[in-house]
Chains A and B, each alone.
Chain A
Amino acid sequence: MTAILEMRGISKSFPGVKALRNVNLKVEAGEIHAICGENGAGKSTLMKVLSGVHPHGSYEGDIFYDGEKRQFADISDSERLGIIIIHQELALVPLLSIAENIFLGHEPAVMGIIDWDEAFRRTRELLAKVGLNEQPTALITHLGVGKQQLVEIAKALAKKVRLLILDEPTASLNESDSEALLKLLKELRSQGIASILISHKLNELAEVADSITVMRDGSTVETIDARTEEVSEARIIKSMVGREMSERYPHREPRIGDRLFEIRDWRVEHPLHAGREVIKGVSLHVRQGEVVGIAGLMGAGRTELAMSVFGRAYGRNVTGQAFMQGREIDLGSIQKAVAGGIAYLTEDRKGLGLVLGEDIKSNITLANLAGVAWHGVIDDDRESEVAEQYRSKLNIRSSGILQKALNLSGGNQQKVVLSKWLFADPKVLILDEPTRGIDIGAKYEIYTIINDLAASGKGVIVISSEMPELLGICDRLYVMNEGRLVDEMPVREASQEKIMASIMRQHGTAP
């Protein structure tokens, strides 16, 4: 086999930090090459070197592509040779259509006049390839994060790709969409397109990858040939963290008390389309000290349910009753929901959770400024104490409480958002994808925090697209599909198969 890409002895420094140390990477033609490692291990930096985001001259070492030494000055240099990178952060124009986004910059046009029939036809083909059932004219802003990701992939396919780099493509996809995507990668492989896949989802890597390169602290640890060797998740994790992983989910003795929070016959209409019900009569409850999971596919309405409960932050014509400790409460506004003891941790921590330009301290106290102020005047000492307290309690790794949220890694950002809500002292926490896009070590810490919350008598509702995670940390599960709760089960009776079965059963009977 011949290598399509070889990176030799790559080193890259940022002021104060050596991000890459003598990294070697060899990708064979037509293989799926996975790169894994904890956040900050240098995966994304390596890909930026490869794609020309960090231009030649800003790093040491050599890049060979197609057997020739290459010096990319910018990203268009690498794209011209068929190296296409899909970044973790989506780069779509929200108010343009799918077709416009896919062909942005290289529209099928004659003399500058766009041939829309051609554009739409090709868009439909590409959408079919990535398994996205949407009209080419649909606006990006109306699609969920997961579907937007699929559009990104379709956009890459529209260019003449020979080496596709995907930086955590499935982080925001649910299980079935992830599967479809991985199948797609295999199909591309059979067409001779090589791909580099960066992912935290080790089960996926073990499933599709031909080779797996493990990075740690800016260096390559090893490259495992998955064609000749059976690769287990445990094997990869051991290599990633440098030791054996005993357990992924911290142990907890559930001490479950009385019914704490309950909603009855909750109905929500789409914010833009009045009359279109998104949540169709949901009743659920959480008890003191209980961790309840809500499983479901993307688009099942889980985030919509959570946000509508959180002071009608989503939807219109919200109806239904809410009870806290048996007393009916008004969730008519976010202020009332917070005052009523509810906290909602968003799935989009950068867009909706953090003020990125502000420091850790201000982000932590934002939802409960009254807690550090006296008649509207902030007590600096008290605020710093509070921030320091959470920084050490939740182990937020940073240079100090004055570090900007922007400069934190994903896991530490999530801990800041969690701190914000812990300081607001809610009775019930709704955590929407609390571990999305963060590495294994930080995930474990988040799980531990969730356990501590339950142990202190709070009710925790976890929404997650990773079923093993729900099975690992919850006491009880609801299964949601198409705006309804379709099943409920104690976790000891639950399995991934059973959850999927209840979703599919409902699919089958739905009109």
Chain B
Amino acid sequence: MKPEAVETPNKDQAGDGFWKSNLRDYGLLGSLLVIIALFEYLTGGVLLAPANITNLILQNSYIVIMALGMLLIIVGGNIDLSVGSIVGFIGAIAATMMVDYKMPWVPVVGLSLVAGGLIGAAQGYFVAYAKIPSFIVTLGGMLVFRGLTGNILLGQFVGPFPKDFQSISSGFIPDVVSAPLLALFGDVIGANFRWTSMLIGLVGAALLVFTSARRWRHAKAHTMETEPLALFVGKNAVFAVLIVGFCYLLASYRGLPNVLIIMSALILLYMFVTQRMTIGRRIYALGGNRMAAQLSGIRTERLIFLTFVNMGALAGLAGLIVAARLNSATPSAGNSFELDVIAACFIGGASASGGVGKVMGVVIGAFVMGVMNNGMSILGIGIYWQYVVKGLVLLAAVYVDGYQKNIR
């Protein structure tokens, strides 16, 4: 017997082309664009008005931020139902510290994030080390922290907050370049145009095109699967135009919101963590096959624990953003946020059984939900009908996903 005996390829491996493995991503992006176009039409152009875009970002930033943490939890094979309650709880303790104890806002932000992390650590301990299913642990956490929120606030609104704290959520980046530009070139577009925001958009688009071109060439050089050139160019052109157009619209209103900067930085960070860092890779392996990961020398318990700590801290951040936006802490803040966050993950392609899901998908998933929320509100569709529509969209997204897998 000689080793060159040729094995016929397995049935599945033959047509494993680029399209098949990436169809989902494009489908998701396409759906978002279709939904945007639909509501833009239905609302008679209100949806993409600069003021409304700003609003859309403010309304969805905390969902996106929490979805980043939830993605890691779900990829690791768990779930966290408590995030909405943590949002309320952190808002309550931050408000108490600032309003009742007159603490300055900077240490309050730090303490709140630590508190969120500690809550995550407590829940993570029970999930990872005590091996209680995350559904049960976080269901408990959901009740406990909702209850504590009510107890701290005694049913009252606590506020208002210092201006600087509020600006985390409702502030815009300072416009430092418009004045000199205006002085140099005179009034080109309008005196109120925020050139700083526009420039950030242009630089961002250029960076995106530059880095993805480098990645594409790199992949090509390593004979890895790459998308066809036309598709690649088209996709990047669309993205670049979207970013520039988006920043143009925002620049013509009040500039880029602070919270957009926070959110974008976190999205980039989590993309990096999931794609390039060992800890990210290990979380995917853990969710894909826990035993295999364990037998490969990966500390699976510690990893699960860390995903919960991370989620807690992000929920804490979201709690601060929500409180800053409302300028008060309320007993019902964050109510049912967990549902939007989890729905964003599943619409975005995360698998309920773990091991699968991408940051970009989840961000798009969050915006699918956000645009629908916002668009339906503009149209004056009742809140109860909104629930119905959102529920059906979630189900449809996951159904189409499963259907795609089955026909392969």
Contact = CB atoms under 8 A, between A and B. Distances in A.
Contacts of B9: 17, 40, 397, 399
Contact of B288 (A217, A218, A357): A357
B7 A338 contact: no
B8 A395 contact: no
Contacts of B278: 369-370, 373, 376-378
Contacts of B285: 355, 358, 362, 366
A411 B13 contact: no
Given A313-B295, A335-B299, A366-B298, A407 B355 contact: no
Contact of A352 (B7, B8, B10, B292): B292
B1 A241 contact: yes
Contacts, number: 153
Interface in A355-403: 355-358, 362, 366-367, 369-370, 373, 376-378, 380-381, 384, 395, 397-403
Q: Specify which of A335, A346, A376, A448 lies most central, judged by the most chain B CB atoms within 10 Å of its CB.
A: A376
Q: Specify which of A346, A367, A381 lies most central, judged by the most chain B CB atoms within 10 Å of its CB.
A: A367
B291 interface: yes
Nearest to B8: A40
B194 interface: no
A354 interface: yes
A441 B1 contact: yes
Interface residues of A, number: 72
A407 B299 contact: no
B11 A380 contact: no
A228 interface: no
A119 interface: no
Given A369-B281, A407-B10, A351 B297 contact: no
Contacts of B10: 40, 407-409
B3 A441 contact: yes
Contacts of A376: 277-279
Contacts of A41: 8
Interface in B4-22: 5, 7-16
B233 to A, nearest CB: 22
B342 to A, nearest CB: 21
Interface stretch (B38-46, B107-115, B204-212, B217-225): B217-225
Nearest to B275: A378
Contacts of A346: 295
Contacts of B11: 14-17, 19, 45
Interface in A328-362: 334-335, 337-338, 344, 346, 351-358, 362
A99 B5 CA distance: 44
Contact of B7 (A377, A401, A403, A439): A439
B248 interface: no
Given A247-B1, A358-B285, A381 B295 contact: no
Given A357-B355, A373-B278, A409-B10, A441 B5 contact: yes
A440 interface: yes
Contacts of A237: 1
B15 A444 contact: no
Nearest to B354: A357
Contact of B225 (A334, A397, A400): A400
A129 to B, nearest CB: 33
Given A40-B8, A217-B8, A357-B356, A403 B16 contact: yes
Interface string B295-318: 111110000000000000000000
B289 A356 contact: yes
Contacts of B225: 400, 402
Given A369-B282, A378-B276, A408 B1 contact: no
Interface string A195-222: 0000000000000000000000110000
B293 interface: yes
B50 to A, nearest CB: 38
Contacts of A408: 10, 13
Interface string B212-255: 00000010001111000000000000000000000000000000
Q: Which 10 A-B pairs have the closest CB atoms?
A: A16-B14, A441-B5, A355-B288, A14-B11, A367-B296, A40-B8, A338-B297, A16-B15, A369-B278, A407-B12
Given A41-B8, A362-B285, A407-B13, 13 more contacts: A14-B11, A17-B14, A38-B5, A334-B297, A335-B297, A335-B299, A358-B284, A358-B355, A362-B281, A373-B278, A377-B277, A403-B16, A441-B3
5 contacts: A38-B7, A346-B295, A395-B3, A440-B1, A444-B2
